[in-house]
Amino acid sequence: MNEALLARYDASLRGLARKDRLRTLAPRAGLDFSSNDYLGLAASKRLGDAVAAAIARGTPVGATGSRLLRGNAPEHEALEADAAAFFGAERALFFGSGYIANFALLTALPQKGDLLVLDELAHASMHEGAQAGRAQFVVAKHNDVDAVDEAITRWRAEGGMGRVWIGVESLYSMDGDRAPMESLVALADRHEAFLVVDEAHATGVWGPDGRGLAAAFEGRDNIIALHTCGKALGASGALVAGPRTLCDYLVNRCRPLIYATAPSPLMAVAACEALAMLSDEPLRRVQLRERVAFAGRQLAERCGVMPSGSQIQPFVIGDVRRTMAVAAALQARGYDIRGIRPPTVPEGTSRLRISLTLNVAEADISAMVEALVEVLAQT
């Protein structure tokens, strides 16, 4: 082995290890308090049966090419039509993942001379899309509408003449808090701006029929929403929903769509069935909200933690080493809870990310909180 060739990468890994930031892949084990399978659809019989039926009628596993070549399957088009109707948008486009969809949006739609304002806690894919895109971009303080307004006003005062884009998540993945959607939409309208809303953690869980926290605003010319299929919908991929003109533009100008092999048609089948399940099985959302409320009460009473009000409950510890030790101890007791460290979260805010799903019962939540109390006292 040529050690010199790999030396800088090895040094980087050793540096991460010294800071307790070295990541490794670990198999899933224990009760699910870490996944995004909020409604328990990933292993549901109905989703499995839909995919099995598709295989039986000859639906291929692979797409075999990009959407603009032979990869455009009837299953993709059926999903996009159903999604557009379900979310109230003119058109929807199916991408292979939420990360790719966010990156694709922000590298293709904002143009040179435009301004993109991103919430500081928006998903990494949005920030990386902004960095790789052609528009000027700035970061605004989390959930601070005035800060977004000030950034736009300052840019205009400095001679900015292009279009303004605002990028946010509707429900934030590490804090579980919501964006002030009404105020953001009003701001976008006032500045004749586009608002890009990543509904990844809201789709399926919040809004009428699980249509997300921006459901009241979809269908507007200046609203583009991203709905991931790999979280509450239990499949994989992502749907970009918005005005037909913008979706048509993506088909013609979006390199991650043009040059990538299309997602599996089977995942389109699964996502389509999941959308139907959102309408047909509203009890799942009711049950999840009951678990969210139960967990919030338990954590507030036993640990003094302020409930997030969503299925994502952060438990901030601060110190990286202690955070990872607590997570490891909980995993050893059979509770799959992961520690989240910088750079995923800001320095000094290392935390447990407790995810609430229908894969656990209230008794499991009570036992987990009891274990958490004991581990915190020992760590």
CB atoms inside a 10 Å sphere around CB 21: 15
Q: For domain 27-40+282-378, give the CATH number.
A: 3.90.1150.10
Model pTM score: 0.95
201 is catalytic: yes
- Report cis status (omega within 30 of 0) of the bond before 74: no
Per-residue pLDDT of the chain (379 residues; tens, 9 = 90+): 677 899 999 999 999 999 888 999 988 899 999 999 999 999 999 999 999 999 999 999 999 999 999 999 999 999 999 999 999 999 999 999 999 999 999 999 999 999 999 999 999 999 999 999 999 999 999 999 999 999 999 999 999 999 999 999 999 999 999 999 999 999 999 999 999 999 999 999 999 999 999 999 999 999 999 999 999 999 999 999 999 999 999 999 999 999 999 999 999 999 999 999 999 999 999 999 999 999 999 999 999 999 999 999 999 999 999 999 999 999 999 999 999 999 999 999 999 999 999 999 999 999 999 999 999 999 8
- What pLDDT, on the 0 to 100 scale, is given for residue 3? 79
231 is catalytic: yes
Q: Tell me which of 76, 127, 191, 201 is the catalytic residue.
A: 201
Instruction: Please say whether the structural domain 59-280 has been given the CATH code 2.30.30.30.
Output: no
Q: Tell me which of 191, 199, 231, 264 is the catalytic residue.
A: 231
Q: Are strands 164-169 and 194-198 parallel, antiparallel or unpaired?
A: parallel
Two domains, one topology: 27-40+282-378 and 59-280: no
76 is catalytic: no
* CA-wise closest residue to 365 among 304, 309, 288: 288
Q: Tell me which of 32, 34, 36, 80 is the catalytic residue.
A: 36
Q: Tell me which of 32, 114, 123, 350 is the catalytic residue.
A: 123
149 is catalytic: no
Q: Which helix (H) or strand (E) holds 209?
A: none
- What pLDDT, on the 0 to 100 scale, is given for residue 182? 98
Both tokens of 260, joined, read 């990538």
Any idea where the domains of the chain sit in the sequence?
A: 27-40+282-378, 59-280
Q: Tell me which of 34, 173, 310, 359 is the catalytic residue.
A: 173
